[in-house]
Structure 1
Amino acid sequence: MAQLPIALQLFTLRNETKEDFLGTLKKVKELGYDGVEFAGFGGYEASELKAFLEELDLKPFSSHVGIELLEDNADEIIAYHKELGVETMVIPYLVPERRTSKDDYIKLAESLNLYGKKVKEAGMTLCYHNHDFEYEKYDGEYGLDLIFSQTDAELVQVELDTYWAEYAGVSAVDYAAKYKGRLPLAHIKDMADTSDRTFAEVGEGTLDIKGIVAAVQEAGAKRLIVEQDVCQRPPLESVEISIRNLKEILG
């Protein structure tokens, strides 16, 4: 299989982007990443940021956008992403009060279908990104499966966070296979060999990164996204270790 482009989820460098947004993007490119997944835009206009990314040859593959932001101002947010050239918009998280029951997940699915249609009409794709809590079962079905069973696969696709699946006790390899053809993006993360199973640089932990990458690629992933929610080292050092190890693992 051909090696997929590798992006960095910029949440990993949230403190660095707060201090110097454009300078941090430049460092990400210098470390060898092909693109980024945004978690905010540093207050820049889409046209300004697009020009900077083009100059760097750093691709705006995807962006995490809270569903509350879409509920408040979907048209403007979608237009910004389209102008920037983002391929995929991703719902990254559910606040606790929006995930207390099966009905909550069904209501969410209705909203995702609505926004997925708007995003598709703008020429992009909408994904949903998991944590561990979506693997709680309701009437024998994972909350995450409720989302995907109640949404149109043409409108709402899967960004599988492989770390959080494994953290919840679910095989990321098996779960990727379940959504073959509906999984364009995957978060590639590693798990430390510690009692709290915290985050580790890719290749420095306990997860079978090579097997996981093969599984998500077989499922149709087009982009691999490195993320480390919490770093024990300086974050720029961590993301450098991750991409170096990931490229070595993938040959």
Structure 2
Amino acid sequence: MRRMGIGLQLFTLRDDMASDFTGTLRKVAELGYEGVEFAGYGGLSAEEMKQLLDELNLKPIGAHVSLQNMRADLDKEIDYLLAIGAEYLICPYVAAEEREDAEAWKSLFGFLGQAARRANEKGLKFAYHNHAFEFELKIGDQYVFDALYASAPEHILVEMDAGWVQYAGLDTLQYIADYAGRLPLLHLKDFKGMINNQINTVELGQGEINLPSTIQAGSDAGVEWLIVEQDRCQNPPLESVATSLKWLQTNYLNQF
């Protein structure tokens, strides 16, 4: 087993971040997370953000950047991430109206490939974060998930969300192995059935995911960061991310 970094996708704490961005980031550092993945910057300039991250000894892994923001000013998004010392710009989601059929996806592949090449030219890595809908439609004989990465193999990296792959009914461990060497970021999401017709995300170790096997597969595949993400929390979000980190400390980090 390799030692991978432990990060947090800050979307999990979106309400706390909205009310107190800096204070919440401090609490994340105090809990013991090593890195963070942004979902917005709380109005801080790149200089202010870098100073805060340095003070807290938090590694800026990267950021989830919406398609809307990428289209509006991709260079601005890239330059901000470079200025704070991040490595990854990640496309986090595709709205339903942009993925109605195979042709819509093919058009999107073209844009994502261009964005990835631009990021690479400027020294940033580009990744895509999946949900379950990438496994609901095929383009030819490939799921959308696989067709995307085949469209620009040298540019677009994988940020695989293990919870969503299993939720879609696929073999998560096999998918991790299939993308070995191209999968630097692995989102750890546990879930337990459905709630209000949506995936019921829970703290790590409390759901249906075989997390030890998933982490081992990530290690074997060359994953750099294990990133905690909980879409919706039944407990206060800071409490939830603390519980998930404690699970990782007990079941993963204690062997190093």
Classify the TM-score, shorter chain: over 0.9
Which residue of 2 is the match for residue 31 of structure 1? 31
Unaligned runs of 5+ in 1: none
Do the aligned partners of 2:2 and 2:219 also contact (CA within 8 Å) in 1? no
Letter in 2 for 1:216: G
Q: Using a 3 Å threshold, how does the CA distance of structure 1 residues 101 and 2 change in structure 2: closer, same or farther?
A: same
How far does residue 137 in structure 1 lie from its aligned partner after superposition? 2.7
How far does residue 37 in structure 1 lie from its aligned partner after superposition? 0.3
String of CA shifts for 1:91-146, please: whole Å, max 9, x gaps.
00001111111122221111111111111122110000000000013233211111
Aligned-residue CA RMSD (Å): 1.3
Structure 2 residue matching 1:90: 3-state secondary structure: strand
**Of residues 219, 222, 226 in structure 2, which corresponds to 1:224?**
226
Structure 1 residue matching 2:49: 3-state secondary structure: helix
Where does 1:32-51 land on structure 2 (aligned, <5 Å)? Answer: 32-51=32-51
Q: Establish whether residue 235 from structure 1 lines up as the match of residue 237 from structure 2.
A: yes
Do the aligned partners of 2:184 and 2:224 also contact (CA within 8 Å) in 1? yes
Do the aligned partners of 2:176 and 2:221 also contact (CA within 8 Å) in 1? yes
How far does residue 27 in structure 1 lie from its aligned partner after superposition? 0.4
For 2:79 and 2:126, locate their aligned partners in 1 and report how far apart those are by CA, in whole Å: 14
Q: Establish whether residue 245 from structure 1 lines up as the match of residue 252 from structure 2.
A: no
Where does 1:70-85 land on structure 2 (aligned, <5 Å)? Answer: 70-85=70-85
Do the aligned partners of 2:189 and 2:228 also contact (CA within 8 Å) in 1? yes
Q: Using a 3 Å threshold, how does the CA distance of structure 1 residues 103 and 238 change in structure 2: closer, same or farther?
A: same
Q: Establish whether residue 20 from structure 1 lines up as the match of residue 20 from structure 2.
A: yes
Which residue of 1 is the match for residue 67 of structure 2? 67
Which residue of 1 is the match for residue 147 of structure 2? 146
How far does residue 78 in structure 1 lie from its aligned partner after superposition? 1.0
Moved more, 214-223 or 186-195: 186-195
**Of residues 199, 202, 218 in structure 2, which corresponds to 1:200?**
202
For 1:164 and 1:223, locate their aligned partners in 2 and report how far apart those are by CA, in whole Å: 17
Which residue of 1 is the match for residue 126 of structure 2? 126
Moved more, 211-220 or 52-61: 211-220
String of CA shifts for 1:37-89, please: whole Å, max 9, x gaps.
00000010000010010011001011000122111111111111111111111
String of CA shifts for 1:200-225, please: whole Å, max 9, x gaps.
10111121001011112211110110
For 1:118 and 1:103, locate their aligned partners in 2 and report how far apart those are by CA, in whole Å: 23
Q: Establish whether residue 212 from structure 1 lines up as the match of residue 214 from structure 2.
A: yes
For 1:107 and 1:165, locate their aligned partners in 2 and report how far apart those are by CA, in whole Å: 23
Which residue of 2 is the match for residue 100 of structure 1? 100
Q: Using a 3 Å threshold, how does the CA distance of structure 1 residues 194 and 137 change in structure 2: closer, same or farther?
A: closer
Q: How does the TM-score come out when normalised to structure 2?
A: 0.94
How far does residue 193 in structure 1 lie from its aligned partner after superposition? 5.1
Letter in 2 for 1:167: Y
The alignment-based identity, stated in percent, is 41
Do the aligned partners of 1:105 and 1:146 also contact (CA within 8 Å) in 2? no
Q: How does the TM-score come out when normalised to structure 1?
A: 0.96
Letter in 1 for 2:236: P
For 2:144 and 2:113, locate their aligned partners in 1 and report how far apart those are by CA, in whole Å: 16
For 1:109 and 1:182, locate their aligned partners in 2 and report how far apart those are by CA, in whole Å: 17
For 1:106 and 1:147, locate their aligned partners in 2 and report how far apart those are by CA, in whole Å: 8
Structure 1 residue matching 2:218: 3-state secondary structure: helix
Which residue of 2 is the match for residue 166 of structure 1? 166
Moved more, 232-241 or 189-198: 189-198
String of CA shifts for 1:176-202, please: whole Å, max 9, x gaps.
111111101010010125676510101
Alignment coverage as a number of residue pairs: 250
Letter in 1 for 2:141: G
Moved more, 167-176 or 99-108: 99-108
For 1:110 and 1:218, locate their aligned partners in 2 and report how far apart those are by CA, in whole Å: 31
